[in-house]
Structure 1
């Protein structure tokens, strides 16, 4: 069986190589249809062996997609976008689908792991089912300006007996924040969906898609209005309606409508009894309301139910790592550290890169009396052996001031990936705080060649020079970017004993650069210099700076100072994220405990 890869693209030079490379060895031809790129997308595609065609964009993904299909010559067509990537472990599965397909199977749907937020992370994944493999020359065509659907000639949709759902996985990065901002993707999609709704005003699928766009824009009220309009046409047999109910629950979560969450979760379990998401979302509500034992029952039921059907759209991990970590968190709240650690280990067995589970495990092991080396060995054994995993664990030890273990773990990562800028920076930073300055300088000088780490690496090199009695200090100061140079120069003035800054010097300070200087001083234990450098924050009316400083104080053990900064951030109009809110709750609990103890001693 032969295979054509078909994709439509526009300005995808940063992603198209990764996408094509993930399937290039499976394909017999690569068809790329460009709809108006102004960058080097075409050159990148051609360098990978693609045949590039041009299509004048007419506000219809279906038309462009159909043009691409018309150029495919092989037995099967693989449909991908330039921000998709085939899961490496599933290559053989994909080939097997074509080789073993019966004559009645014309289309395969595969799982798309759709990432949202700042970076690809299993905590921010929704799983959708999308058409990926189409038998060629059977007359299938796409319909719809956006979120296009595959149909047979003269049919409203695919015949159920002609398509099969599979567990082959594709990663989709197109909804990460950086990608969306660069493409203004939501504005484009909303415009095209509204055009579709002008033709078919009560189209429930398009109303669902419009809700998804508003949901991604973090506008739950507008999203819910669209979902409810789609819901009026509810038909449990429609493939997207289970996910519609899930999306409605997520909106009600954001709006605090508990009764609606319970009602929709019950309806979901009644209509889709094997769909674990609804029990998981019910457990999440019970947990939030403080009904901890009922929540534990829900999460245990999720594990018994197992993953949702392969053809269902879902939240990743509701029956596996996500449910296990929810149990770990609940048992920790109940004070049962042994069970909390047990479920953390279960989480890590299912998902070795689960940062929160690794962090909780580390803290519980240290509280249990394990020394840092023993904890590092135990947790390293749970990792998948990749450089990324060792760096994740290294970061956790680093955040807790365990620099020797952080250094060793980043060293292991560097052996696996000798050119990794992140590993070089992590190794250099840990070595700096251990006082191993030659080793720190060697790693940091390599790390600063990468733009992402240059500013922080140069700042550490500046402080390395100060440690060496200012040898080369001015040279390293000049290597800093303007924002960090201004913060470092101002810091030098402050620690020289001068109480007042030269006029106008503080006006040019950057909040993030100031936070980096303060964090470095705190981690290095230079409390006298840190106190002097606090004047750097005197005129920083920046809510994000206050939030970052609050987290820094909290991680460093200065709880009351952290509270002050969190309150200052809120007063400046900032929004405390989930991590900051958890920190504030912990600080408040510790302050109340201290006040109770003082009251008892007084009485």
Structure 2
């Protein structure tokens, strides 16, 4: 039996090699249909011996895929996107499926990485992957295409089978979605479809999902609710609709309605472990600890859901163990928390967050630092390598033990080839220890990679805090060559303010000011840890150089997270009085501040900036 790989591609030079490499040993033919690439996609495909066909894109995925199928000569077609790869351990399983005369269509398990980089966070889907060729199978629908058979009215379900074969998908990563602007492309197609069929359940669901990807939760909810009005449990996308409706309600903190839909969903699909998990998570959020513990323990007793009911991976394993550890940590039952964190690690050795939490809890319970180090080192085995030292450095850095972190990072550095990330981490450890010149030395070693620009800006802070004005000016000038000019402008402003020099307003436009807010608070977050009180107070004047009504709320949260509860409370009050700005997280912090201030750091270190116009320049 011959197997043809079919891929639709446009500007996929970064992804296509990974895709083809993952299956080149098992396919007999590679069909690449290019829809208008301006990069090296076509050249790369030809280097792999692919048959490349140009296709005029017409906003219809089915047409493009069906065109690819027409070019395939194999007995079977393996359909993939360019930003996917087959799990290496599953490749050979595919070959064994081709001799099964009883099956025409196979669905595989797709794990889509989400967030900033491939890791633990994934979304789960079922997708058609193997299709018997020359039997009339083709796709229909402009987007989120469905399989049909032009020779018969209905596909024989007996000829369709689900296989536990994993395909990794990289297209939902933040950077990829931003680069390709996928949601806007998809929404343009869906708008046309909904104009023709405004009540189509599937199109409504997909439009809601595009808004969800954009984090426009109100709009997502609008479409999901319309789709849910005609809910039919038997439809393939219905479990996914339920799941996404629930997560949208959760994002909007509409907890009563979320619980109602959760309970309804479990009547439709009793095996839907994800819903049991989300229900327990909701109880946890509401501090209904007994119900939450019961819910997570129930998840641990349930079998893995069928693939068609799977969205969050391993909720019946490490995720529920970790949630139980978190609850017991909040209850200050550190012994029980430790038990569940250990179970989490046993269930998912590559998930390191439990080690961070164990370190926190050991310190909270008064354990000596040497004992804490010994306990954590045991998790990495008898002989610690560079990777273990680096991870231990990250753990101690995360709990503010920067001297211990530095020692571990240094040990990792001694065992590794030059490593830009380790240099940066060594610099950050020294920076937070207020050893500015030692930090500068390590940051200077970062010469490339994702940390390069951040290291350059940290060098500027080191020189400003060391009162090395001339070198700070030189570094700011060098940083002016970086692509994001707004960041440079804020560092230049801070250099002037620290030296008691005037600096003009950066922006008096509210929309433009939003682009500066996060930059300013990244600097403030560093300075509240490292700078002398008088320098930190000067840095607060950065907030007067933009026009934003959220600065007091963000400042209050900054104080709260660093333990300055009285100051946090004062800024929450000012945010309400001056800008009428507060949110649910702020209200919770505000309530807690009153009690925490009695035992917290109070106002002794950082005084509130005088109210002679500060923060209210444009009010």
Per the shorter chain, which TM-score range? 0.7 to 0.9
Distance 2:340 2:312 in 1: 20
In structure 2, do the counterparts of structure 1 residues 447 and 157 end up closer, same or farther at CA, with 3 Å as the change threshold?
A: farther
After TM superposition, the structure 1 = structure 2 runs for residues 322-337 of structure 1, keeping only pairs within 5 Å, are 322-337=319-334
Provide the secondary structure at the position in 2 that maps to 1:77: strand
After TM superposition, the structure 1 = structure 2 runs for residues 246-325 of structure 1, keeping only pairs within 5 Å, are 246-325=243-322
Q: Which residue of 1 aligns with 2:610?
A: none
In structure 2, do the counterparts of structure 1 residues 519 and 276 end up closer, same or farther at CA, with 3 Å as the change threshold?
A: closer
Q: Which residue of 2 aligns with 1:19?
A: 19
Distance 1:194 1:287 in 2: 38
Distance 2:580 2:108 in 1: 44
Structure 1 residue 574 displacement after superposition: 7.4
Q: Which residue of 2 aligns with 1:104?
A: 102
The one-character-per-residue Cα deviations of 1:428-466 (angstroms, maximum 9, x if unpaired) are 322445577787455423424336532433432662697
Distance 1:265 1:451 in 2: 41
Query: Is 1:428–1:441's contact at 8 Å kept on the other side of the alignment?
Result: yes
Equivalent residue for 1:171, pick from 154, 163, 168: 168
After TM superposition, the structure 1 = structure 2 runs for residues 6-155 of structure 1, keeping only pairs within 5 Å, are 6-86=6-86, 90-101=87-98, 102-120=100-118, 122-123=120-121, 125-155=122-152
State the TM-score, normalized to the length of structure 2: 0.81
Structure 1 residue 488 displacement after superposition: 5.1
Provide the secondary structure at the position in 2 that maps to 1:324: helix
Structure 1 residue 65 displacement after superposition: 0.8
Query: Is 2:437–2:462's contact at 8 Å kept on the other side of the alignment?
Result: no
Q: Which residue of 1 aligns with 2:609?
A: none
Structure 1 residue 34 displacement after superposition: 1.1
Query: Is 2:456–2:475's contact at 8 Å kept on the other side of the alignment?
Result: no
Equivalent residue for 2:207, pick from 205, 210, 230: 210
Distance 1:180 1:6 in 2: 22
Provide the secondary structure at the position in 2 that maps to 1:45: helix
Distance 1:20 1:340 in 2: 45
Distance 1:389 1:151 in 2: 51
Query: Is 1:308–1:314's contact at 8 Å kept on the other side of the alignment?
Result: no
Residue 596 of structure 2 is aligned to residue 590 of structure 1 = yes
Distance 2:272 2:165 in 1: 19
After TM superposition, the structure 1 = structure 2 runs for residues 423-572 of structure 1, keeping only pairs within 5 Å, are 423-433=422-432, 440-441=439-440, 443-450=442-449, 452-460=451-459, 463=462, 467=466, 475-481=474-480, 487=490, 490-496=493-499, 498=500, 501-502=501-502, 504=504, 511-512=517-518, 514-524=520-530, 526-542=532-548, 552-564=558-570
Provide the secondary structure at the position in 2 that maps to 1:530: helix
Distance 2:45 2:541 in 1: 53
Provide the secondary structure at the position in 1 that maps to 2:30: strand
Distance 1:375 1:28 in 2: 56
Provide the secondary structure at the position in 2 that maps to 1:113: strand
Query: Is 2:85–2:167's contact at 8 Å kept on the other side of the alignment?
Result: yes
Query: Is 1:349–1:382's contact at 8 Å kept on the other side of the alignment?
Result: no
The one-character-per-residue Cα deviations of 1:278-326 (angstroms, maximum 9, x if unpaired) are 2222223333333221221111111101321133232233222222222
Query: Is 1:300–1:323's contact at 8 Å kept on the other side of the alignment?
Result: yes
Structure 1 residue 22 displacement after superposition: 3.9
Structure 1 residue 108 displacement after superposition: 2.2
**Range with bigger deviation, 205-214 or 519-528:** 519-528
Distance 1:49 1:131 in 2: 25
Q: CA RMSD in A?
A: 4.0
In structure 2, do the counterparts of structure 1 residues 286 and 465 end up closer, same or farther at CA, with 3 Å as the change threshold?
A: closer
Query: Is 1:425–1:447's contact at 8 Å kept on the other side of the alignment?
Result: yes
Q: Which residue of 2 aligns with 1:599?
A: none
Q: Structure 1, unaligned stretches of length 5 or more?
A: 596-603
Distance 1:99 1:364 in 2: 50
Distance 1:215 1:278 in 2: 18
Distance 2:48 2:80 in 1: 15
**Range with bigger deviation, 549-558 or 161-170:** 549-558
